[in-house]
Amino acid sequence: MSHGKEVISIWFFIGALLFIYGVLITGAGIYGLSHPPEAEVVLWNLHAAIWWGALLIVLGAIYLYLYAPFRRNRS
């Protein structure tokens, strides 16, 4: 998924972005448990922000690890 001249793979950027988004969205979901919004969205009881944010964190962490520049430099 990367090529010769490139030092940092695009997948590393994607991993970083997903990880940051995951932290923000999970954080917003956890905050929402104690401070529910005035108008709750449909299926609020499923707390989609928490599990979707967690999924983003996991995906982001996997890509960060697999495409980290230090791993490419070492290999």
Partner 1 sequence: MPVIPSLLLLQAPARLISLGSVDIAIIAIYFVTVLLIGFYLKGQSGTGEDFFLAGREMTAWIAGLSFLSANLGSLELMGWAAASYQYGILATHWYWIGAIPAMLFLGLVMMPFYYISKTHSVPGYLQLRFGEPSRALSAVSFAFMTVLMSGINMYSMALVMKVVLGWDINFSIWVSSLTVAVYVALGGLRSAIFNEVLQFVLIWLGALLIPILGLIEAGGWDGLQKRIAQNFAAQDYTHLWRTFGSFSDNPMGIHWTGIVLGLGWVISFGYWTTDFLVVQRVLAARDLRSAKMAPVIGAGFKMLVPFIVILPGLLGLGVLPMKLTGEGAAVASGGHSYNEVLPLMLARYCGPGLLGLGITALIAGFMSGMAGNVSAFATVWTYDIYRAFMNKDAGDAHYVGMGRWCTIVGVLVSIGAAYLVMQFQSIMDYVQALFSFFIAPLFGTVLLGMLWKRATPAGGFWGLLAGTVSSIGMWAWVKADPSALRIIALSPDARDMAENMYRGLWSWIICVAVTCIVSMMTTPLPEKSLVGLVYGCTEIPAEGAIPLHHRPAFWAAIVIVVFFILNLYFW
Q: Minimum CB separation from partner 1 for residue 33, in Å?
A: 11
Task: Tell me the C-alpha distance between 73 and 30, whole Å.
Answer: 38
Q: Does 20 bind partner 1 (CB under 8 A)?
A: yes
Residues with Cβ within 8 Å of 67's Cβ and at least 6 positions away in sequence, in order, are 1, 2, 8, 9, 11, 12, 15
How is residue 27 written in tokens?
């954080």
Q: Does 65 bind partner 1 (CB under 8 A)?
A: no
Which residues of this chain interact with partner 1, rule CB under 8 A? 1-6, 8, 10, 13-14, 16-18, 20-21, 24-29, 31-32, 37, 40-44, 46, 48-49, 52-53, 56
